[in-house]
Chain A
Amino acid sequence: MGNSQTTPGIVAGRLPADRIQENFDDLHPAYAPHEAAVAADRCYFCHDAPCMTACPTSIDIPLFIRQIATGTPEAAARTILNQNILGGMCARVCPTETLCEEVCVREVAEGKPVEIGRLQRYATDTLMDAGKHPFTRAAPTGKSVAVVGAGPAGLSCAHRLAMLGHDVVIYEARPKAGGLNEFGIAAYKAPNGFATAEVEWLLQIGGITIQEGQALGDQITLSGLKESHDAVFLSIGLSGVNALRAEGEDREGVEDAVSFIAELRQTSDLTTLPVGRNVVVIGGGMTAVDAAVQSKLLGAENVTIAYRRGQEAMGASRYEQDLAAQNGVRLMFNVQPVAVHGNGRAVEIELEYTTDTGSGLTGTGETFRLPADQVFKAIGQTLGDTPEGITLEGRKIAVNDTGRTSLDGVWAGGDCASGGDDLTVTAVAEGRDAAMDIHATLVG
């Protein structure tokens, strides 16, 4: 061993184990009961509350906060989970600063919102820590639904359908359920195996079977599923990654940010996970920030996010940008990659300044180089193979308000479907709403 932050190349163990442990601890520690009471007391119980409107799953936020304030966090959890079965994960990963907390009247008035996300976590943790599942299954309907993909949309859809009495089989390509909750998202947002525990807790409703290692187009086909089930819900996410279109992008050390994050999330001992001394992340979204911050927390000496547009266009919220900056990540704007240099493996990245001409982004011709032994591509994901016979809208599966696709008996939701932001909470809402429509169709 003996590696440090300045060890050249891509190596593991740049920081001592206790530092890494500390670095990947909960980003926002859980509230103690007194803290929760004080935080809840700040809520004004607004009429037709802006926070509730801003929530993609329309959680009755004033009600659940009042239930916390009156000493019944379990009732608060029921209020949350009734609308959003993954309320525990959303409490951790939702960009509340651009959703509920952004429109909180106290944010508008005082610049200090009620901490809705942390309160939601307090409520859901209280219920889940007691091992309680608050819902019971309706009498069996005899109908069977296939859900493809065990991410947030699929799990949400499956739970709602199971609760309504349908039998659900979830087909998951990976060896483990959870989707981006399990394989994406920065580790410090959901530590201690929360994603895995949440899936187990969700399955307590009964009536859901998960079959792992079943990828659409390989082990299973859409026509086959349509034949063996009464309805199909596609929540297959985005498995493709956009290309960098820069010279030398095939050099060793150039990787997809999502793969790096997935590997990190599945590594039990983070001192064994290699990371570069000089890391450059290309992109401007949440994935870019997650990859950059975690590289820094693993012990990379220099981490830079290189984004081709200005700061205001960045997909990651200002809060996420600040988080990156606090962790020592350098944010560069209006730069785009032109080449990765090195003899077989990456050593430097060449970036070019950009300017917005009004009719598009162009390079200014001025370039510079940064040391880079690891380059992460975080420039967006795309739908993998289009399922047979499905119509697309843009580069995603075309759906209506309730998730219906162009094919009879096939619904879709989550990142793979058109409409809505690519957020966990949006995926949960889409899965839930599709389930209600599937239910109405099957029993109607």
Chain B
Amino acid sequence: MADLTTEFLGIKSPNPFWLASAPPTDKEYNVRRAFEAGWGGVVWKTLGAEGPPVVNVNGPRYGAIYGADRRLLGLNNIELITDRPLQTNLDEITRVKKDYPDRAIIVSIMVPCEEEAWKDILPRVEATGADGIELNFGCPHGMAERGMGSAVGQVPEYITMVTEWCKKYYSKPVIVKLTPNITDIRKPAQAAFKGNADAVSLINTINSITSVDLDLLAPQPTIDGKGTHGGYCGPAVKPIALNMVAEIARDPETHGKPISAIGGITTWRDAAEFMVMGAGNVQVCTAAMTYGFKIVQEMISGLSQWMDEKGYASTSEFVGAGVPNVTDWQYLNLNYITKARIDQDACIKCGRCYAACEDTSHQAISMSADRVFEVQDDECVACNLCVDVCPVENCITMIELQPGEIDKRTQKVVQPEYANWTTHPNNPAAQAAE
């Protein structure tokens, strides 16, 4: 069994699976049970400033998107930060950290954008013995209207400013949690590191309305006939999060900086993908909220098995290993030519590939009277749509043409060397290869 021990910002945890700041980490009772179930660390649900705690709505807080068998694909929420007194949380954090010295405890914080507010809370958080803090600059509902959460995260200058305050009044690692509700994720990440953040974590939830009640004509979740946008999370947001993590990992300004990945991580494979794309560890919420804390056991056994199969002795050996393979479109090899192939033995003759190609792509699949589907190489542009819609795994595959072969679509001989758009003759801005 591979060793999953992970060191992130000098914080050791027995595995890279942390629970994200959210309802699962709201209180001592949950966090203790999470640790007993095997989670490597938690980011404690966001603390607010001293004073009367926030209040939550008393109607539904969550909305959901389902698959046909009610598999939860996406969840949204309009819950706010902790609604329990600050001192209660601090006392609990102190107790739990004392009892679980080998697990990571990070405290999520969101207080007003004033230096005094941060100066007040940070020493009290430091006194808990927690391993670090995470700045919640991401929450897109409720708190943003009060000038906090994503209202800060959408202004890079604020991020830098608050991060600097935190580094001034707090001695342990500072993680800045980013909102995806922004055009270019690299800017807030750069701003965080400019303020000397130790790491960024992303993504927080995405502004969303999951569904509309067609009787009430109101967004869901509906509270007394009205709804509001909430934060979207769960498996559905993973591709968005994966891209944002990769963008920061490959940005020359932030390349190599620590990232804690969040966004729809449900299985060991999701975690491995984020880590290969540059995340030093991962944070999970919706999977735990859907299936319970026990879900971490599959993540642990799966990641461990994959590492054994690949010969990785430690998670650090593959963190970021795929980042060099993320590039801009213009650098993709235009001489790499493939054609779809249909395995006639595996084909169940549903015709979905034909419908997709004939109606919406390049009319490159033929259909005979007895339902035999075949790829026409002279029309196939290798778009992969047939592969994506085929219900049988590996029935349609993309076969690479070898140099010297003729691409029947263009009638050109496949060239062996790499050539991209920057040097293509059709590119008005093309530069000569020399």
Contact = CB atoms under 8 A, between A and B. Distances in A.
Given A45-B295, A47-B292, A66-B298, A74 B392 contact: no
A72 B301 contact: yes
B298 A70 contact: yes
Contact of B305 (A42, A45, A63, A72): A72
B269 interface: yes
Contacts of A71: 269, 302
Interface in A59-98: 62-63, 66-67, 70-72, 74-75, 78-79
A368 B305 CA distance: 64
Given A45-B295, A47-B292, A79-B301, A70 B69 contact: no
A315 B268 CA distance: 43
Contacts of A45: 291-292, 294-295
Which residue, A33, A67, A75, has most C-beta atoms of chain B within 10 A? Answer: A75
B267 interface: yes
A75 B69 contact: no
A67 B298 CA distance: 6
A62 B291 CA distance: 10
A63 B393 contact: no
Contact of A70 (B267, B294, B304, B393): B267
Interface in B40-75: 69, 71
A36 to B, nearest CB: 12
A66 B294 CA distance: 11
B303 to A, nearest CB: 9
Contacts of A42: 69
B392 A63 contact: no
Interface residues of A, number: 17
A72 B304 CA distance: 10
B297 interface: yes
B393 A34 contact: yes
Nearest to A60: B297
Nearest to B267: A70
B392 A34 contact: yes
B298 A63 contact: yes
Contacts of A41: 69, 71
Given A47-B292, A70-B267, A70-B269, A75 B302 contact: yes
A175 to B, nearest CB: 39
Nearest to B304: A75
A67 B69 contact: no
Contacts of A74: 305
Interface of A is mostly: helix
B305 A75 contact: yes
Interface in A20-54: 33-34, 41-42, 45, 47
Interface string A180-192: 0000000000000
Contact of A63 (B69, B294, B304): B294
Which residue, B291, B306, B393, has most C-beta atoms of chain A within 10 A? Answer: B291
A78 B301 contact: yes
A78 B305 CA distance: 11
A67 B301 CA distance: 8
A80 to B, nearest CB: 12
Interface string B285-300: 0000001101101100
B202 to A, nearest CB: 24
Contacts of B268: 70, 72
Contacts of A67: 298, 301-302
Nearest to B270: A70
Nearest to A74: B305
A132 to B, nearest CB: 11
A118 B406 CA distance: 48
Contacts of A75: 298, 301-302, 304-305
Contacts of B298: 63, 66-67, 70, 72, 75
A39 to B, nearest CB: 13
A37 to B, nearest CB: 9
A349 B294 CA distance: 58
Contacts of A78: 301
A63 B306 CA distance: 17
A131 B187 CA distance: 52
A307 to B, nearest CB: 41
Nearest to B309: A74
Contacts of B301: 67, 72, 75, 78-79
Nearest to B293: A47
Interface in B335-350: none
B302 A72 contact: yes
Contacts of A62: 294
Nearest to B303: A72
Given A34-B392, A34-B393, A42-B69, A70 B302 contact: yes
Nearest to A62: B294
B391 to A, nearest CB: 9
B389 to A, nearest CB: 16
A34 B346 CA distance: 12
Interface string B63-101: 000000101000000000000000000000000000000
B308 to A, nearest CB: 9
B252 to A, nearest CB: 35
A317 B366 CA distance: 52
A105 to B, nearest CB: 13
Contacts of B306: 72
B260 to A, nearest CB: 22
Contacts of A63: 294, 297-298
Contacts of B393: 33-34
A418 to B, nearest CB: 35
Contacts of B392: 34
Interface string B201-229: 00000000000000000000000000000
Nearest to B71: A41
A63 B294 CA distance: 8
Interface of A: 33-34, 41-42, 45, 47, 62-63, 66-67, 70-72, 74-75, 78-79
25 contacts: A33-B393, A34-B393, A41-B69, A45-B291, A45-B292, A45-B294, A63-B297, A63-B298, A66-B295, A67-B301, A67-B302, A70-B267, A71-B269, A72-B298, A72-B301, A72-B302, A72-B305, A74-B305, A75-B298, A75-B301, A75-B302, A75-B304, A75-B305, A78-B301, A79-B301
Return the 7 tightest CB-CB contacts between A and B, nearest first. Answer: A75-B301, A70-B267, A66-B298, A72-B302, A45-B291, A75-B305, A72-B305
Given A41-B69, A45-B292, 20 more contacts: A33-B393, A34-B392, A41-B71, A45-B294, A45-B295, A67-B298, A67-B301, A70-B269, A70-B302, A71-B269, A71-B302, A72-B298, A72-B301, A72-B305, A74-B305, A75-B301, A75-B302, A75-B304, A75-B305, A79-B301
